[in-house]
Amino acid sequence: MIRVALLFGGRSSEHSISCATAGGVLGAIDATRFEVVPIGITKDGAFTLQDPAVIAGFALGAELPAISDNGTRVHFPESAESREFTVTEGPGGPTRSLGDFDVAFPILHGPFGEDGTIQGLLELIGMPYVGNGVLASALGMDKHFTKSVLQAAGVGVAPWVTVSRAQLAREPELWDRRVTALGLPAFVKPARAGSSVGVSKVHDWGELDAALDIAFAEDHTVLVETGIAGREVECAVLQGRDEGPTRVSVAGEIVFTGREFYDFDAKYRDAPGIELVCPADLTPGELEEMQRIAARAFDAIGGRGLARVDFFYTGSEFIVNEINTMPGFTPISMFPACWLASGLTYPDLITELIELGLETPR
């Protein structure tokens, strides 16, 4: 049986999303093939041993799930010569072995998990893991550098300006000219955050200062982007097997029925005004072009494992909005929904990702 260290929670504002994802994975994973040990990372960054039965019940609702610090502390292997994890049972308590693990499954969203940090730790100790490596994770987490790399690879992205508080203070008139040249409406986003946390849509430049404050609360660098008029479509990506070509699912679409944009409440609290459609209504030629660009974007950042590529479709052009290197992975999220519509069930998708993690050289 393959032993899996499931890492979830974390220090980011997407802590609860990660917890819900852990619940979905634990509830669906093939228990005849995999033994899962849930290691929850608290909002303070403590690695704790959690009860699988409790975590399997985590889901998003009116009350968002979170890791409770139960006093345990999980310790990673002491060197790359070992795969043994240990746990200390409370302050000053005994330490016991958790045994050897075959692979880690970091289902962490946002900073301190999706950004290459946990991936670097796992590589330091020689632990195989699911998902993207250090570079792709770091690139995918930072919207400015994602756009820069994609633009260099010939992939269309929305025009943007990146700014920090210090730059705004030094040259306010320059940044005002650069930002207003983008036109309205515009989106203001933290450079390194996900799940639409800290994102605002600006219809009038008088709203800009408040939008910047919201975004700067999440990161010290902020993007202002031109709002692209078009359909919001996305597709799921998997690394090819045995170094084969990148695989891309059918497309899903976010249909707006009364909401400004796909914000946190719409994504995770079932707020009204959004409908998710999968598969999206695209012609075979449109889908083929979207899949081609998605694979090109994934390959451009050095993607491994999985990603979700989000687009604006203007009717004549697919513009990449973002690449999510650890997309929402609850059973009802768009990433598994796109693969389900492509013929791959949620449990089989989990198996596929673990097998990719085990075979991928790092």
Backbone angles phi, psi at 225, to 5 degrees: -120, 150
pLDDT of residue 116: 97
For 152-156, the CB contacts below 8 A with 24+ separation are 152/300, 153/296, 153/297, 153/300, 154/296, 155/293, 155/296, 155/297, 155/300, 155/320, 156/293, 156/317, 156/318, 156/319, 156/320
For residues 351 and 348, give the distance between their C-alpha atoms in angstroms, rounded to a whole number.
Answer: 5
DSSP line for 37-82: EEEEEPTT--EEE--HHHHTT---SSS-------S-EEE--SSTT-
> What is residue 257's predicted lDDT score, i.e. its pLDDT?
79
- Distance separating alpha carbons of residues 349 and 326, to the nearest angstrom: 14
**Domains in the chain: boundaries:** 2-129, 139-157+229-359, 160-226
Can you read off the two tokens belonging to residue 310? Answer: 């989000």
So what CATH class is 160-226?
Answer: alpha beta
The pLDDT, as a whole number, for residue 85 is: 98
Dihedral angle computed from the Cα positions of residues 87, 90, 92 and 94, in that order, rounded to the nearest 10 degrees = -40
CATH class for domain 2-129? alpha beta
d(CA 62, CA 43): 19
The whole-number mean pLDDT for each consecutive block of 10 residues of the chain, a chain of 362 residues, reads 97 92 93 97 97 88 86 96 96 94 96 95 97 97 96 97 94 91 95 82 94 94 95 97 94 81 56 81 98 98 98 97 92 92 97 96 78
Per the DSSP assignment, residues forming a β-bridge with 47 are: 41
Q: Which fold has domain 139-157+229-359?
A: D-amino Acid Aminotransferase; Chain A, domain 1 (3.30.470)
- Residue 80 has a pLDDT of 95
Please give the Cα distance from 148 to 276 (Å, whole number): 29
- Quote the pLDDT of residue 91: 87
Q: What pLDDT does residue 332 have?
A: 82
Whose structure tokens read 């705004």? 168
pLDDT score for 353: 98
